[in-house]
Amino acid sequence: MSGSTPPSIAARSADHLRTVGSATVTEIAQTLELSRTSVENAMAALIDAGLVAETPGPSAGRAGRPARHYAFRADAGHVVGVDVGVASVRVLVSDLAGRVTAQRRFEGIAAERDGAAQLGAVVADIRATLADAGVPSSRVRAIGVSLPGLVDDAGRVIASVVIPEWSGVDIGAQLQQAFSCPVAVDNGVRLAAVAEHHLGVAQLVDDIVYLSVGNRIAMGLILGGRPRRGVHNAAGDIGRLAFRGLDAETGQIPWRTAADAAEVFALAESGDAEARRELDAFVDELAHGIATLVMTVDPAMVVIGGGLSGAHGRLLDPLRAALPQHIRLPFEVPLVEARLGADAAAHGALVLAFRRHADAVYGIEGLPTPSVTPLPPGERGATTDTIRIEPLPIAKEHS
C-alpha cells in the first residue's frame, strides 16, 4: 500500500520460512534477493525472538559439513478465535502459521443469569478448549472475539440487541485481564465477511457484500480488500432498513405459516400453497433489499451466509432468478453461498487477532497475516457440555 513501511528483512525471512518450510541462508537470500550477511543477521534476530530454529536439513548424515537449515517455529505460541452467541460459542486455536489445531463448539450463553455469568462462560469455554489441546494459557499470544452488536475499535460493546447485558461493557479489556494477552473484538457479521474474504469463497474479490440471513438479516462489507466499519462502527447494521417486514425492535424475520424458516421450507416442499406463497414473498423481498445494497455499493460479489444459507439451492436459486428483476441493469452480480458456514465468524475472529496484534503475536514488526487453514470437517469438535467457572466481575461503562 502506498506510504506504508516496507517489511524488515527479518519479517520477510520469517514469512518465507513460514510459507515454504525449512531453508538455508543461501536459499533465502537467493529467493528474496538479499545478501547472505543480511539473512544471517535476520536469522540470529529471529532465533532470539523464538520464531525460528535450526533444523536438520536434507544433507544431514552425509559426508562433509551440511548447510544449516532454518525453520519457522509455528508451535512457539498460539492464537485464539472466539465466536460468541446466545445459541453457541465456538472456539478455535491456531499455531503461529495460522493452522487451526483445535476447535470446539459449546452451548451458547442464553441460559446464563447475567452479563458477568455470560462472560464467565466464554472464559470457561476458551480455557476448556486450550486444556483439551494441551495449550497452557501462558502460550496464547492474542485472542480475537466475534459477537453480535456494535463494537468500537477498543473492544467496547456500544450496543447489542442480542446480548443487551454487554452494552457499554469493554469486553476486550475483561478478556485481556483474564488471559494476560492482547484481545481484539468486532461485530460477528463483519468478521464472517473477513473470513470469507481471507480464506473462503471470496478470496480473489476485494469488494463484496456479505449478507447473513438467519433469524435476522445483517451485512458485512469488504471494500478495497478491507472491512468497512464506518465512522460510528455501524456499517452493515441495515437489516431493519433495507429489508421490509422485519421486527422493528429485534430485527428478527417473522414467519406466518410456521414457527421458523426450516418448517416453512419443509411445508413449501411438501406442497403447502400458503407456505409456498410466504416463501416466494420472502425471496422477493430479500432480492429487493439485496438490489438496494448492490446499487449502493456496486460490489463484485454478494455472499449469502447465516443459517438460511444452509438451504442451498432452495434459497439461492430463486434468489438469483429474482435479483435481476429488481436491478434491471445490463450486468449481473454473482450471488454465491458462503463456504465457511456457521464457523465463519470464529475464523474471522482469528484473522482479526493476527491482523490487529501481529507485533505481539510474533515479537517482530511487519510480519503479515498468515493464510489461516481450517481443520478438516471430520476433526471439528462437537457441542460440548462443560463446567462453568465462577463469573468474572464485570463493570458497565457508559459514554
Q: Helix or strand or coil: residue 283? A: helix
- Between CA 87 and CA 101 the distance in angstroms is 24
In a domain, 3, yes or no: no
Q: Does a structural domain hold residue 166?
A: yes
The secondary structure element, H or E, covering residue 301 is strand 301-305
DSSP-derived pairing of the beta strands 88-95 and 78-84: antiparallel
Closest CA to 92 of 140, 126, 138: 126
Residue 17 and residue 119 in one domain? no
β pairing state of 69-72 and 226-227: unpaired
Quote the CA–CA distance of 238 and 338 in Å, as a whole number.
19
170 lies in some domain:
yes
CA 315-316-321 angle, to 5 degrees, is 110
The pLDDT, as a whole number, for residue 122 is 98
Which DSSP letter does residue 321 get? H
In a domain, 62, yes or no: yes
Provide the grid cell at 252. Answer: 428478527
Same domain, 211 and 333: yes
* Model confidence, pTM: 0.89
Write down the pLDDT at residue 308: 87
Same domain for 258 and 323: yes
The answer to whether residue 389 sits within a structural domain is no
In a shared domain, residues 211 and 326: yes
Whether residues 59 and 134 share a domain: the answer is no
Examine the fold and report which residue of 318, 338, 358 is the final residue of a domain before the chain moves on: 338
Q: Are residues 331 and 210 in the same domain?
A: yes
Let me know the angle formed at the C-alpha of 298 by 317 and 340, rounded to the nearest 5 degrees: 50
| Whether residue 307 sits in one domain with residue 208 | yes
* Residue 125: closest CA among 84, 174, 166, 170: 84
Cell of 256: 406466518
Residue ranges making up the domain that contains 38 = 9-72
Collapsed DSSP state (helix, strand, coil) of residue 134? coil
- Cβ neighbours of residue 230 closer than 8 Å, sequence gap 6 or more: 236
For residues 206 and 334, state if they share a domain.
Answer: yes
Domain end position, chosen among 44, 72, 100 = 72
The helix (run of H) or strand (run of E) holding residue 47 is: helix 36-48
In the chain, what are the helix, strand and coil shares in percent, each to the nearest 5? 40, 20, 40
Among 226, 249, 243, which Cα is nearest to 159's?
249
Here the CATH number for the domain that contains residue 41 is: 1.10.10.10
In 148-286, the DSSP E strands lie at 150-151, 157-159, 183-187, 208-213, 217-223, 226-227
In a domain, 390, yes or no: no
**Does residue 149 share a domain with residue 106?**
yes
Euclidean distance between CA atoms 140 and 104, whole angstroms:
17
* pLDDT at 392 (0 to 100): 44
What is residue 165's predicted lDDT score, i.e. its pLDDT? 96
Residues 357, 288 share a domain: no
| pLDDT the model gives residue 172 | 95
Helix runs in 201-343, H state only: 239-242, 261-269, 273-297, 313-327
Picking from 53, 72, 91, the residue at the C-terminal end of a domain is: 72
Provide the CATH number for the domain around residue 330: 3.30.420.40
Measured between alpha carbons, how far is residue 231 from residues 34, 152, 296, 329, 386 in Å?
42, 10, 18, 31, 39
pLDDT tens digit at each of 399 positions of the chain: 444 577 899 999 999 999 999 999 999 999 999 999 999 999 999 999 999 999 886 655 555 567 889 999 999 999 999 999 999 999 999 999 999 999 999 999 999 999 999 999 999 999 999 999 999 999 999 999 999 999 998 889 999 989 999 999 999 999 999 999 999 999 999 999 999 999 999 999 999 999 999 888 889 999 999 999 989 888 877 766 778 777 777 778 889 999 988 899 999 999 999 999 999 999 999 999 999 999 999 999 999 999 888 888 889 999 999 999 998 888 889 999 999 999 999 999 999 999 999 999 999 999 999 999 999 877 766 545 444 444 444 444 433
123 within domain boundaries: yes
Domain count, the chain: 3
| Structural domain contains residue 1 | no
What torsion do the CA atoms of 191, 192, 198, 199 make, to the nearest 10 degrees? 140
